[in-house]
Amino acid sequence: MSELLKRLYNIARALGPEGKVGSPGMNDKKPDNDFPTRIIEDLANFNLAPPASFEAVRQARNLEFKKYHPDKHHGDPEKAETAKQIMQIYNASYERLKEFYKTR
């Protein structure tokens, strides 16, 4: 259960101060392992940690998409809306990671 809470916390942190998916720059303070803090947080959204490969990110994203895709909840509008918000966070994290790995 605590692992789920950690992941939910990381997902919630991906939201900006206004409650919208934010896109902070990737030039945030870098920890010792040469990964920007934002990238480490994005990896944590997919339950990964540096030095994860982009292939691992892609596979983790696909697993999360299968679990949370809004189409799975077409009968329950509240669950569909929550799934849509989760997918927006995952998409934002994935796009930042894709750009990071492309320039790396």
pTM: 0.69
What single-letter amino acid sits at 49? A
Look up tokens 């990381």; give the residue.
10
Show pLDDT as tens, one digit a residue, over the chain (104 residues).
Answer: 566 666 666 666 665 554 554 444 444 444 446 789 999 999 999 999 999 999 999 999 999 999 888 888 888 889 889 889 999 999 999 999 999 999 98
Q: How far is CA 52 from CA 3, 46, 55, 59, 60, in A?
A: 18, 10, 8, 11, 11
**Res 22: pLDDT:** 47
Structural domains in the chain, sorted by start: 2-103 (1.10.287)
Could you give the dihedral angle defined by the CA atoms of residues 21, 99, 38 and 66, in that order, rounded to the nearest 10 degrees? 60
Rounded distance, CA 77 to CA 7, Å?
23
Rounded distance, CA 12 to CA 68, Å?
15
